[in-house]
Amino acid sequence: MGTTLFIVAVIVGLLLWKRPKDDGKPHNDYFRSLESVYQSNGLSEPRLIIDGQRLDQNIDSLVQKIGSDRYRIVAKSLPSLPLLRHVMARANTRKLMVFHRPFLSVIVREIPDADILLGKPMPIAAVKRFYKNLTPEQIHSANRQIQWLVDGLEHLEEYRALAQSLNVTLRINLEIDIGLHRGGFKQGGSDYPEALRYIHSHTEYLALSGLMGYEPHIAKMPLASAERMNKAKSKATAQYQWFKDYIKLNYSDTYRTNLTFNGAGSPTCQLYQSDDTINDISAGSSLLMPTDFDLLSIRDQKPALFIATPVIKALGALELPFLEPICSLLARYNPNWQRSYFIYGGYWKATPCSPQGLSNNGLYGRSSNQELLTGSGSSQLKINDVVFLRPSQSEAVLLEFGEILVVRNNEIAEQWPHLAQSCIENGIQ
């Protein structure tokens, strides 16, 4: 009996010692101000908010580090024509990286002076569809704008055949593998020399425009540190240099032209401040800072994108069907289960950020209609109050809502449509 009581006492002691602390806090001044903007404009549905001042600070910070001349904006991470135009103007660059055929069509039409590099190899059917409704003059103009990304000989041959059928010359950028292992030409392999020979034997239809090497694995390695990232980056840039040197050694006339040597991305863009291995640096998400980009390598950038949605039900402790008695005990044990809040909408690629201490509940499950968030009374939430969430990524989330609200100086300064809306407006499918 004594042993049993001792074991019970130990278990109770451990539970009390490990008892969760109250994580709840009400909105700070920043989010209280955003809530006031939301409510004073009569909003009542989930909306996306971009903090325009933070966006500009992030643009300025990035350009200061890498320079306007090397900066290429990743359009998939900022999928809105007004947003792209704003970043292009503030960063003083005309360079875009595009990943989606309908978005390419609308960008070519609406931003005809953009310098466009495809961010992934397009299926040849998509490329044909892009050219299908263009006039000969529009095709000629588009070919001056666009570099098509090619990752292998099979795609290269398809692009040559299409160029021959259109009687045009396509600019080809070769995707190279510098450590990510997501496809592309490999160092020391026979495909890369063969691809260059193929391009130079079909100069009427193909022209080498440069290389693209992507290496986000550097910033997302386990136990990342500045020293380990720099070591991995040195390895990647050495590989990149091998591909450049091969062109320089074997096709010196081509190398002397203005080739695009693209690389980086938001996770690694700032690692190239004093490195000239690449002359074209891609970044997009770091201007809005969704949570997937809370990385050591870009820790100076500020979150600028939020989902705002109202509380439609503010209830007491969490209750689960058939488990009500247990739930009351759990709520007493965990203060962060003492309140249940149902919000308008949900199930987004996002996590609650204000008030602090709110979280999804794995036992209750998720809902895109009215999602449950549990928290403590310290969050001080009631119905009609606003909950803010930080998206984990921008490329999908920005396309899920209506017009994006741009807030500056505590008011809605602009409302920006996303690219899918612009495609519909332009009759592009």
Q: Give the domain CATH number at 201.
A: 3.20.20.10
Residue 255 and residue 123 share a domain: yes
d(CA 109, CA 175): 26
The residue among 230, 76, 243 whose CA lies nearest residue 176 is: 243
Instruction: Residue 320: give the domain boundaries.
Output: 21-48+303-423
Residue 224 and residue 335 share a domain: no
Supply the pLDDT for residue 303.
Answer: 98
Residue 392 and residue 276 share a domain: no
User: What's the structural domain count of the chain?
Assistant: 2
Residue 206 and residue 150 share a domain: yes
Residue 86 lies in a domain: no
d(CA 161, CA 131): 14
Exposure class string for 58-90: b at 16+ Cβ within 10 A, else e = bbebbbebbbeebbbbbbbbbbbbbbbebbbee
Token pair 């709110």 is found at 358
Residue 311 and residue 248 share a domain: no
Residue 15 lies in a domain: no
Residue 99 lies in a domain: no
Residue 100 lies in a domain: no
From the number of C-beta atoms within 10 Å of its C-beta (0-12, 13-18, 19+), residue 316 rates as exposed
Residue 307 and residue 258 share a domain: no
Residue 308 and residue 243 share a domain: no
Residue 354 and residue 216 share a domain: no
Residue 250 and residue 132 share a domain: yes
Supply the pLDDT for residue 246.
Answer: 97
Residue 96 lies in a domain: no
Q: List average pLDDT for each run of 10 residues in the chain, which is 429 residues long.
A: 42 54 95 98 98 98 97 98 99 98 96 98 98 91 96 98 97 96 94 98 98 90 79 93 97 91 94 93 98 91 98 91 79 88 98 97 91 94 98 96 97 97 89
Residue 174 and residue 43 share a domain: no
Helix (H/G/I), strand (E/B), else coil: 374: strand
Structure letter (DSSP) for residue 347: -
The residue from 223, 250, 283 where one domain ends is 283
The residue from 283, 312, 339 where one domain ends is 283
Residue 405: give its domain's CATH number. 2.40.37
Residue 340 and residue 274 share a domain: no
Supply the pLDDT for residue 406.
Answer: 99
Supply the pLDDT for residue 340.
Answer: 94
Residue 278 and residue 152 share a domain: yes
Give Cα separations from 64 to 92, 233, 286 (angstroms).
12, 21, 14
Residue 69 lies in a domain: no
Residue 107 lies in a domain: no
